């Protein structure tokens, strides 16, 4: 049985009919880039899996807000385990899809589902932090548990609706002629998916952080020096009838109360606000190039070089790596749990 020629196989993958597309070996830059992407896939999967294992093993994490963190870690570990490897295979073949229509549809659906869920989980964590900082008296543990479960359910429901819509005829994801596998370019679906998956949660998280910033600024401004100034009075004490009177005068006195350092709650709120700010900032930087291109290209019928599409896509994927890194870095409980987990393994 004759073996297929490598040159012919590469030509078929690259376009088939174009005889000028000959096989060329990977450059050093390409090998380095693919190696870094493979390392990103592994690191994203391991880091999010570590967060999930920690939440499952530590009993104190079996409550809010750790259920929101677990939901975010599940979506991110699915991005690393189901979406990024197939995307890496696609990069290996020059951004061509050689795995067929069925697997293309599955990959696109998982891509949209997991990435949208990851974005909305970030939004849910930001909302939870906002309510716990600004309404800590009304936002009781019971209320917090109910609202967080509702947000998790809505996150996965909305993500499922957005990801499964193309399977019911709303646009096409696979082109057999050009071996292209991409999110549906139907203009109506583009507007629906980009606003539902990114622009709406973006508006929510920016509004939430603005409110957190205002609340923190108000609390700092309201920390004034409390002063008590009693009135002066004269106290006369008579010891005997024939002895001269002795009078004691209490002059004006000022007693000041000043808090030199932050209280435990203020320190906790400040760290939470900083964590939410960094989480939101990284989320915006990672995803805004991709979603700007996704919205503009189908609407204006224009295009950008394929290499930039890949850059924007993998920049968005990298948000799944940064999410657990940022959250656990600002949470001492996770740091201690990680140490205990590794110390038990030794």
C-alpha 234/C-alpha 237 separation (Å) is 10
Written as six digits, the tokens of 118 are: 């990851």
How far apart, in Å, are the Cα atoms of 282 and each of 78, 277, 285, 318, 319? 20, 9, 5, 10, 7
| 175 bridge partner residues | 180
What does the pLDDT read at residue 129?
A: 86
What does the pLDDT read at residue 276?
A: 81
The total of other beta-carbon atoms located within 10 Å of residue 237's CB is 8
The fraction of the chain above a pLDDT of 70, given in percent, is 77
Give tens-digit pLDDT for 207-261: 988 888 787 666 656 654 444 445 544 444 444 455 545 444 444 454 444 444 5
Give tens-digit pLDDT for 109-164: 999 999 999 999 999 998 998 888 888 788 888 899 999 999 999 999 999 999 99
- Residues 294 and 196 sit within 8 Å (Cβ to Cβ): no
Look at residue 81 and tell me whether its pLDDT is greater than 60.
Answer: yes
What does the pLDDT read at residue 345?
A: 58
The overall average pLDDT reported for the chain is: 80
User: String of b and e for 111-146 (b: at least 16 CB within 10 Å)?
Assistant: bbbbbbbbbbbbbbbbbbbbbbbbeeeebeeeebee
Q: Which residue has the higher pLDDT, 248 or 105?
A: 105
Q: Which residue has the higher pLDDT, 273 or 140?
A: 140
Written as six digits, the tokens of 194 are: 């980009």
With bands split at pLDDT 50, 70 and 90, how would you rate the model's confidence at 23?
Answer: very low
Q: Which residue has the higher pLDDT, 123 or 328?
A: 123
Written as six digits, the tokens of 72 are: 């975010």
What does the pLDDT read at residue 323?
A: 92
With bands split at pLDDT 50, 70 and 90, how would you rate the model's confidence at 8?
Answer: very low
CATH classification number, 28-223+268-344, choose in 1.20.1070.10, 1.10.510.10, 1.10.10.10, 2.40.50.140: 1.20.1070.10
Look at residue 199 and tell me whether its pLDDT is greater than 90.
Answer: yes
Give tens-digit pLDDT for 43-61: 999 999 999 999 988 888 8
Look at residue 204 and tell me whether its pLDDT is greater than 90.
Answer: yes
Look at residue 330 and tell me whether its pLDDT is greater than 70.
Answer: yes
Written as six digits, the tokens of 225 are: 């020096």
The fraction of the chain above a pLDDT of 90, given in percent, is 42
Most confident option among 24-38, 201-215, 332-346: 201-215
What does the pLDDT read at residue 339?
A: 77
What does the pLDDT read at residue 47?
A: 93
What's the mean pLDDT in 90-100?
90
What does the pLDDT read at residue 154?
A: 97
Q: Where are the domains of the chain?
A: 28-223+268-344
What's the mean pLDDT in 292-307?
86
What does the pLDDT read at residue 12?
A: 42
What does the pLDDT read at residue 196?
A: 95
Q: Which residue has the higher pLDDT, 202 or 241?
A: 202
């Amino acid at each position: 049985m004759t073996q297929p020629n490598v040159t012919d196989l590469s030509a078929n993958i690259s376009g088939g009919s174009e005889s000028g597309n000959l096989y060329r070996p990977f450059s050093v830059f390409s090998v380095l880039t693919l190696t870094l992407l493979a390392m990103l896939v592994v690191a994203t999967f391991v880091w999010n899996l570590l967060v999930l294992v920690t939440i499952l093993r530590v009993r104190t994490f079996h409550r809010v807000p750790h259920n929101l963190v677990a939901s975010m870690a599940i979506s991110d570990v699915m991005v690393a385990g189901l979406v990024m490897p197939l995307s890496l295979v696609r990069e290996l073949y020059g951004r061509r899809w050689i795995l067929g229509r069925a697997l293309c549809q599955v990959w696109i659906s998982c891509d949209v589902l997991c990435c949208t869920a990851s974005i909305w989980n970030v939004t849910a964590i930001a909302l939870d932090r906002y309510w716990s900082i600004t309404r800590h008296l009304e936002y009781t543990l019971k209320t917090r548990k109910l609202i967080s479960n509702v947000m998790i359910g809505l996150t996965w429901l909305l993500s499922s609706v957005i990801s499964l819509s193309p399977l019911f005829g709303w646009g096409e994801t696979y082109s057999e002629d050009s071996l292209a596998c991409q999110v549906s370019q139907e203009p109506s679906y583009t507007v629906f998916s980009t606003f539902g998956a990114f622009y709406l949660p973006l508006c929510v998280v920016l509004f939430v952080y603005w409110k957190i910033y205002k609340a923190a600024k108000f609390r700092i401004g309201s920390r004034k020096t409390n002063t008590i100034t009693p009135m002066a009075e004269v106290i006369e004490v008579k010891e005997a009838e024939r002895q001269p009177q002795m009078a004691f005068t209490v002059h004006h006195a000022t007693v000041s109360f000043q808090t030199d350092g932050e209280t435990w709650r203020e320190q906790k709120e400040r760290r939470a606000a900083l964590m939410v700010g960094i989480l939101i900032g990284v989320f915006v930087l990672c995803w805004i190039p991709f979603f700007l291109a996704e919205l503009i290209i189908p609407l204006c019928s224009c295009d950008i070089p394929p290499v930039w599409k890949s850059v924007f896509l993998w920049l968005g994927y990298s948000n799944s790596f940064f999410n657990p890194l940022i959250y656990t870095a600002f949470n001492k409980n996770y740091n201690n749990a990680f140490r205990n987990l590794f110390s038990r393994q030794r």
